[in-house]
Amino acid sequence: VVSGVLDRIRGVVGPKGFIDEPEALAPYLVEWRGLYRGAAKAAVRPASTEEVAAVVRLCAEAGLPIVPQGGNTGLVGGGVPFEDGESIVLSLARMDRIRAIDPLNHTITAEAGCILADLQKAADEHDRLFPLSLGAEGSCRIGGNLSTNAGGVGVLRYGNTRDLTLGLEVVLPDGRVWDGLRALRKDNTGYDLKHLFIGAEGTLGIITAATLKLFPKPRQVETAFIALRRVEDVMAVFARARAASSDLLTAFELIPRFGLEISIKHVAGVSDPLAAPYPWYALLEVSSSQTETSLREALEAFLAETIEAGLVADGVIAASGAQSQELWRIREAIVMAQNHEGGSIKHDVAVPVSRVADFIIEASEAVARRLPGIRPVAFGHVGDGNIHFNLSQPVGMDTKAYLAHWAEMNRIVHDAVAARGGSISAEHGIGRLKRDELRHYKSPLELELMARVKQALDPGNLMNPGKILAPEGSQNGRRAAT
Ligand SMILES: Cc1cc2nc3c(=O)[nH]c(=O)nc-3n(C[C@H](O)[C@H](O)[C@H](O)COP(=O)(O)OP(=O)(O)OC[C@H]3O[C@@H](n4cnc5c(N)ncnc54)[C@H](O)[C@@H]3O)c2cc1C
C-alpha cells in the first residue's frame, strides 16, 4: 500500500520534489546538533500549496505520518523523523517566494519555506524592518519560525513570532486548505485560530504561508557593553535602561565572565572590550526610526548615572558599526566556545524578569552541590526573562559520565524554574527532547486540553506524531512500546 502511495506522491511533486536516494535523503534525517538521527520513506518537497494539499490528502488516505521540516535548525528534535522510518519528511524548502509586500499596511506575505534572512532583506528593500532575528537566520525558514514561535534578540521590543503574525495559510491534516491570510491588526471574530498553529511544531497542520508585521526601519542603532559586580543588579540596570531610552531598548543580553573567557579562548575575533575583568556583563542595544533626539547621548547619560549609582562598574558604547558587531560577537560566540569545553547540559528557560537573578544564584548553587566543579554559563535574552542556563562539565571529567547526569540536572534546574512560575522551554519548543519534561511540569488539565485540540484537528495522529505530546511509554507517539 505504502509504495503505491509513494508513487502517487512522486506523481504530485515530480522527480525534483521527491527524494528517496539514501545519500540525498540523509540531511533531512539528522537534527542540527546530531542528537537525533531518524529514518524516513522519503523527503517530499512540494512547490505550491496545492501540491502540499494533494500530498497530505494522499497521506491521510494511507495513514502515512508526516514530519514537516523547514530549515532543520530546530534544537529539540521536532523536525526530524523517528528511527522507525514509518513517516515521510515534508520539506517546505521549495516554497520560498515572497507573495506580497504592502509598505503602507506594514505587512509582508511570504511562503513558509522563505529563509528568514531573505524575508528580512525583502522588507529592507522596501525601507521596512522585519524584526525577527536569531543566530540561525541564514538557514531557518519562516514556517519553522512560526511553528516554534521563535524568539531571538529582538523580542524585547517587537515580541516573538506569534506577536509578529497577522494571518496564516495552513494545510489541515485532511488536506483541506485554510486561507487565513488576513492582513488585519484588528479582527475580533471569535477564536483566533492562527494561534493554534503557531508554536504547534507541525503537530496540527502544515503552515504554507503567512502575513507578517513590518516596522519602520531604525535610523539610529547604539550598542553598549556594560560590566556588573553582582548578578543581583542586572534587572535593576535593565529597568533603568528602559526608562532612560524612552523604552527604545531592542536587546538586553546577559553574559557571564566565564562565557567571555571561553569565547576569547576558543573563538577568533573575540576580545575583552574592558580593561579589568568583572563577574557579569550586559549587552544592550537601543534603536529608533527618528533622528532628532540622540540615542547615543541618552545611552551615555544612562551609563554615567548607573556608574554613579554603583550599579554598573564599567562600560563601553560602540563607536562604529564594526565595533558594535565586535560586541555582538562576544554574545554569539558563547555557544560555539562551550563546545570546546566538553559536555554541556543545556536549558532554555524563562522566569519572570524580577526573578532572573535569584533563579541564577539558586540554580547555580544547586547544581554545584550535586556536582562540584560544574561550570554554569547563564546567558541570553534576560530582558525577556529568558535564560540559556547551560552547564559545562567539570574540568577533567569524562564527558560521557558527565552527560549521564542530564536528566538529574534537568530536574534540579526545572524545579527551580517551576518554583518561580517559569517555563521549561522559553524559545526552542518541546519537540522530542522535552516532551517527558512537559508531561512532568504541565498541569493535567492543560495536558488534557492540548490533547483534545490535537484530537480535534488531527484525529488520525498523522501530523508529526510523538512530538510535543506522546502517551507515556510510546516512542513514536503512535503506539505504546511493546
Ligand atoms: C545557531 C542557532 C541559533 C538559534 N537561535 C535561536 C533563537 O535565538 N531563538 C529561537 O527561538 N530559536 C533559535 N534557534 C532554534 C531554531 O533556529 C528555531 O527554532 C527556528 O525557528 C527553527 O526554524 P526551522 O525553519 O529551522 O525549523 P525546523 O527545525 O525545520 O522545524 C522546527 C519545527 O517546526 C516544524 N515545522 C517546520 N516548518 C513547518 C511548517 N511549514 N508547518 C508546520 N510545521 C513546521 C517542524 O516539524 C519542527 O517541529 C537557534 C538555532 C541555531 C542552530
The residues lining ligand 1, judged by C-beta closer than 6 Å to any ligand atom, are 32, 67-75, 78-79, 92, 112, 134-136, 140-141, 143-145, 147-148, 150-152, 201-202, 206-207, 427-428, 431, 464, 467
d(CA 70, CA 74): 9
Q: Which three cell numbers stand for residue 201?
A: 511544531
For the CA of 145, the closest atom of ligand 1 is 21
pLDDT tens readout for residues 150-206: 998 899 999 999 999 999 999 999 999 999 999 999 999 999 999 999 999 999 999
Q: Which has the higher per-residue pLDDT, 292 or 408?
A: 408
pLDDT tens readout for residues 322-365: 999 999 999 999 989 999 999 999 999 999 999 999 999 999 99
SS3 (DSSP) at 387:
strand
By CB atoms closer than 10 A (0-12, 13-18, 19+), residue 358 is middle
d(CA 467, CA 115): 23
Q: How many whole angstroms from 1 Cα to the centroid of ligand 1?
A: 33
Q: Whose CA is nearest to atom 27 of ligand 1?
A: 144
pLDDT tens readout for residues 436-465: 999 999 999 999 999 999 999 999 999 999
pLDDT at 479 over 70: no
Q: What is the mean pLDDT of the chain?
A: 95
Q: What is the pLDDT of residue 105?
A: 98
Nearest-CA neighbor of 108 among 16, 305, 118? 118
